[in-house]
Amino acid sequence: MKKVLTAVTAAVLALICFVSCAGTQPEDTLPENTETEAVTEAVTEPVISEIQLTSGGKSLVTVVRPDNASQDVIDQAVEVRKKLSNVIGGITVNMGNDFLLPNKTHDAEKTEILIGKTNYDETQSVLSEMYYQDYCLKTVGHKIVVTAPSDERLTYAITKLTTLLSKNVYKDENGDYWLKPEDFSFSANYKVKKLTLAGIDFSKYVIVYQKSGTMLEAAEAVQSTLATATGVEIPIVTDKEKESAYEILIGTTSRLEVSANITEYNVYFSGNKLVFACKGMNSASAAVKKLYTDKLSIGGEIDIDSSLSLKGLWNEDEGTPLTEGADVRIMSFNILKESYATGAGWDTPTSPRGELLANVLEKYRPDAVGIQEADALWIRAINYYCGDYKPCCTALANGTENYSNIIYDSSRYDLIKTSVTAYSTSDNKSCRNIAWALLENKTTKKQFILISTHWDLTEAPRVAQAQELAATVNALAAEYKIPVFSTGDYNARQDSTPIATYRSLNNMWCSYYDAEKYYNRYGSCSSFGTMSSVGGGVIDYVFATKSNTKMLASMTVINCQTQYISDHRPVIADIKYTD
């Protein structure tokens, strides 16, 4: 099963101390996953029989991986095949999976290298004696079993295999290749020797999350942490599965309605069910870390009784209140489309970042946000995590998905009108658009128009887009005679020709140039997982029409783990209406 330990997780790891392998550690910290921890290693003498790999210039061995393997395991199986081919003189090695037709069995006499958790009896027999952080390389009959209970630890077993192939393959006098097999096993020193929950053996539990929600990553975070501490990886199922007697519930499920604030977590028992009241992966990770620190870190045999009550904040960063005298807070934020991140070499699942975005919104309380790269996955995450903040402008008139859209605080504003228009010069019809929304304050009845846009990556189209955007601003300001705010990822520095063109064609304040107060002057763009520098990467701005506003304050949000949401940071402008 593919774990949540992917790039965004690795990034969020740093901020929530996601656990790995248990060893002798201080009680208030989670154990580190290293090869130098206390282990029991068993290296057997080479088996007497040797394995013939080739005959007459053809391979006799097949590399086999699970039919339902994760992409990581598939990639590792492919690398094993390449390595083996290299050491047997470039002869092509067969590759297959463990799929079986009904009433069929695997051929026990066939020479095969079994990678990961295959359904072969040989693999299952080896796995039955292993725990979560263990891994091994073992010859069973004609099979070389290379396996581990977790995909993460399988990497170590693969390394042992490649070392074995490098040193123990030889060619006989007939030109055929042979392997002298060796067995290797690694057993981690699990801190918790036995865990019971309200007197029930932990291994009898399953983890349950809501099938229709976005909590799988949260369930995996809890599973991984508990497995690392105990060596026992309990199953994860959705709440559509038949209810069992002993369950760990993650967030709201069909089993139980729970109450959880976006910045808080709560862990408690409800009957035989252990409940993690949380909103997502980040809060679940913090909650299970707290459970480890308070209850499991002492090690040995542990029972967590039904009186358990753990509460806390998973993110204690404080926001900045609205500047005195300001009427409205406007935010601009490119929130990084998941597939764009993958193309840049970052593995950043949307859902965990949705919880981080919700935390920013709760701490800074913008009235409305111009967002960019907000695809359908992001809209789903926003609807799930972000409470009163509702998306609009999600599609063009022809139905094409629009990534430059707007979210607004529906508890304070009514949405009066929206529109989305594609730029005439564009390299991406979903991305390069002008979206705008007319919002009305429920209490004061004051109105404003917010624009969200995302300019091209090259300068010539950006200049043309600057001209079209300026024309739109001027037309809206003339028609409605209310403040118009323009937000976006302009892909242009403050001293660039496109920005100069845009400013020359409208009568607008710019958050970077014209604020009366600057909380900071950090840049808005940097690599995912890294913090912006002062003055660097300035390509996101908030503009406001001069005739009816005053730009009181500007800032870039650099806390609340914004570096793990996107390769951009949110830019905020606090603005006052004028007559």
pLDDT at residue 20 tops 80: no
pLDDT digits (tens, 9 = 90+) for 172-222: 999 999 999 999 999 998 999 999 999 999 999 999 999 887 899 999 999
Mind listing the pLDDT tens digit for each residue in 435-447? Answer: 999 999 999 999 9
Q: pLDDT confidence of 344, banded at 50, 70, 90? A: confident
Percent of the chain, pLDDT > 90? Answer: 80
CB 332 within 8 A of CB 540: yes
What is the amino acid identity at position 121? D
The CA distance from 231 to 194, in Å, is 10
Find tokens 């929206």 and name the residue. Answer: 418
- E strand or H helix that includes residue 502: helix 497-504
- Per the DSSP assignment, residues forming a β-bridge with 145 are 114, 138
Tell me the two tokens of residue 12: 């969020």
Q: Check whether 478 has a pLDDT greater than 80.
A: yes
Confidence of residue 30 (pLDDT cuts 50, 70, 90): very low
User: Which of 165, 193, 192, 190 lies closest to 179, judged by CA?
Assistant: 165
Domains of the chain: 7-26+190-313 (3.30.379.10), 39-188 (3.30.379.10), 328-577 (3.60.10.10)
Half-sphere exposure of 356 (CA within 13 A, CB side): 31
pTM of the model: 0.82
DSSP-derived pairing of the beta strands 247-250 and 273-277 = parallel
Across 123-137, 141-155, 458-472, 527-541, least confident range: 527-541
pLDDT at 244: 95
At residue 427, the pLDDT reads 66
What mean pLDDT do residues 363-368 have?
97
With beta carbons less than 8 A apart as the criterion, state whether 2 and 71 touch.
yes
Query: What's residue 346's pLDDT?
Result: 86
pLDDT, one tens digit per residue, over 217-254 is 999 999 999 999 999 999 999 999 999 999 999 999 99
The share of the chain scoring above pLDDT 70, in percent, equals: 92
For residue 132, what are the CA distances in angstroms to 38, 151, 154, 228, 232? 15, 10, 11, 6, 6
Q: Which residues pair with 188 in a beta bridge?
A: 39
Mean pLDDT of 300-322: 94
CB 574 within 8 A of CB 326: yes
Please report, to the nearest 10 degrees, the dihedral formed by the alpha carbons of residues 43, 44, 50, 52 taken in order: -30
First to last CA, the chain: 61
Residue 35, pLDDT above cutoff 60: no
Reading the block at residue 35, the tokens are: 């090869």
Q: Return the pLDDT at 248.
A: 98
For residue 43, the model assigns a pLDDT of 44
Query: 35, exposed or middle or buried, with CB in 10 Å at 0-12, 13-18, 19+?
Result: exposed
Tokens of residue 454, six digits: 């995302």
Q: Which of 533, 554, 546 lies closest to 578, judged by CA?
A: 546
pLDDT of residue 14: 35
Give SS3 for 375.
coil
Q: Tell me if residue 158 falls in helix, strand or coil.
A: helix
Only one residue has tokens 């950090």, namely 522
Q: Tens digit of pLDDT for each residue in 485-527?
A: 999 999 999 889 999 999 999 999 999 999 999 999 999 999 9
Reported as a single tens digit per residue, the pLDDT across 408-451 is 999 999 999 999 999 998 768 899 999 999 999 999 999 999 99
Question: Tokens standing for 293?
Answer: 């620190």
The pLDDT mean for the chain works out to 89
Element (H, E) at 154: helix 151-168
Q: Which of 317, 84, 304, 44 is nearest to 184 (CA)?
A: 44
Q: Scan for tokens 């009550």, then name that residue.
A: 309
